[in-house]
Structure 1
Amino acid sequence: MSIDNSPEDERPFPDMSEETPTSVGRALQQARIAAGLTVDAVSSATRVRIAIVHAIEADDFAPCGGDVYARGHIRTLARAVHLDPAPLIARFDAEHGGRPAPTPAAPLFEAERIRPERRGPNWTAAMVAAIVAVVGFVGFTAFKGGGDGNDAKSQVAEGVTTKPGKAASATPKKDKPADPTPEASDSAIAAAPQDKVTVKVTAPGGRSWISAKDHNGRMLFDGLLKKGESKTFQDNSKINLILGDAGAIQLYVNGKKIEDNFRPGAVERLTYTKGDPEAG
C-alpha cells in the first residue's frame, strides 16, 4: 500500500514576495553604498555631522532637533547620494503625522516690535527739573544783583573821571553756544569697515543650525543659533555661510539688511564679499 501526498500537501506556499517598503534611512544608506560613498565623505560634502548621518540611516531623527531640521537633512543627504528627495520627504511626513502648516511668525514679530509702548507722565523727573530751574534762577539773580551794586559803587567813586563814550555797556555778554554733540549711529553694524566683509546672522523667527568660515576655510562657528540670538562674523575678503533653516534667519551684510525669500526648512549655502552685499 503506497502512501501518496494528500491534496492539502500540494497546496502552494503563501506568497511572501511582498516586502515591507524601504524606510527613509534605509533608502539613504543603500543609495550611499551604491554611490561608493562613506559616511565621512557624505558628512564633509553636506556639512551634516557624522553622528546625525548615522542616526538618520538608522531611522532615528531625534538628533536632528525637530521635524523641520529632519526634512532639511533628508533633502541634503538625498541630493548628495543622487536620490530624488521628494518621495523621501513625503514618506517622512506620512510616518510623522504630516507636514505642519507654516506659522507667519515674522509679521507678528514686526508688529510687536513697532507697536509704541504707552507710558504715563514721569512726575518725579518733572519735579526735579522744576526745582533745578528755580535754584538756578535764584542763584543767577543773586549773582547779577551783587555785580550791579559793585558797578554802581565804582561809577560813584570815579565821579567826573569817567569819560563820555567809555561808559560800560549795560548789555551782558552772551556766552558762546556749545558745539552740538554728534548723535550716535542708529546701528553699530552701519559703521562696518569698508575694507572688510561683515556678516551679522540673527534668528528672529526660530532656531537654526549655521556654519561660518573665513576665506581660508577656517571654521568661525558651527552650531545651533537659538531664537532671538545673533552672531557677527568678519573677514578681510570673504565669509562662507551654510544655513540649516534659512527661513528662520535674517542677514545683515556690510551694514545692509538682506531681503530674501528663503523657505522654512531650506538649506542655503551663501558667500559674501566686501562692498555691496552679493550672494555667491
Structure 2
Amino acid sequence: MTIGKSSDRDNRRSSDASSPAEPRPAGQHDTTIGRTLAEARLAAGLTVDEVSSGTRVRVPIVHAIEEDDFSRCGGTFYARGHIRSIARAVGADGDALVARYDEIHGTEPVALAPVSTLDARRIRADRGRPSWTAAMLVAIGAVVLLIAFNLVSGKSGGAAVGAASSPLPSPSAPASPGDTPAQPPAPASSVAPIAAAPADKVTVKLVADSGASWVSALDGDGKSLFQNNLDQGQDQTFTDPKQIKLVIGNGAAVHLYVNGKDLGPAGKDGQVVHLTYTPGDPQAG
C-alpha cells in the first residue's frame, strides 16, 4: 500500500512538471506604471523635487504615482494628466503609460448629447446654482440708474436755485456761453465686447492673470484641444462651431472671455470648474 501511494504522488508531480505554464493575462506588463516612471527618472538623473518643479505636480503625488498609488490624484482625469506630465519630464512614453493606465483602471468616455439635451441640462444647472453673471449685470444696472438719478436730481435742484437767486435775463441781452447747463455724460455700457467674435461659432479665451491652473478643453466632437498647465501670464483661445467644454483646476487663476464678452474669473481659489459654452450669449452649462 505504501509503494502504491508513493507511485501515485510521483505520477502527479511528473504531470504537474510537464504541464505548460499558464499564459499571462492580456494587458499585464513586466513593469508597472510607477516603476517605469521611477526608472526613467533615475535614468535621466532627476530627483523627485526636480520633477515636481518641472511639472507642478506636488511631491507627495509624484511619490504616490511611482508607487502605483493614484488615489491622491483626484480622479482618473487628473491621473492621466499627471502621468503625461511626469513622463514628458523624465523622457518616457506618456501615451503608452496612459493607455496602460486605462487598461487597468478603465476610461471615462465623453458622452456627446444632442443640443436639446445640453440646453435642458444647462437650464437645470442654472436653476440649481446662483447665476453670478445675472447678479453682476443687475448690480451694474442699479449703479447706472443711481448715477443717472443723481445727475437728473442735481440738474433740477441747480436750475431751481438759480431761478430764485438771480433775475431773468433781458430778452435783448444775449445769453452768455457760461449760462448753458452742462450735459451729463452718457452712461457707459454695462457689458462691452472685448473683440469681434463670429456669431455662428463659440470663441473662448482663457488668460491666467492671477496664478497657474491645469486646463482641459474639448471641442464639439469631444476632441481634445488643450490639456496642460496654463502658467501665469499665458493665454489660450479656442473656437468651434458647436461647443467648447472646459475643466479648470483653479477657477480664480483663469479669466474668461467668451464670444467677445468678459465673464471675469472662472471660479474661486482652488475650485475645480466644469464649463460648457455654445455660440451666442455666453451662459455656462
TM-score, normalisation: structure 1: 0.44
Q: Pick the structure with greater CA Rg.
A: 1
TM-score, normalisation: structure 2: 0.43
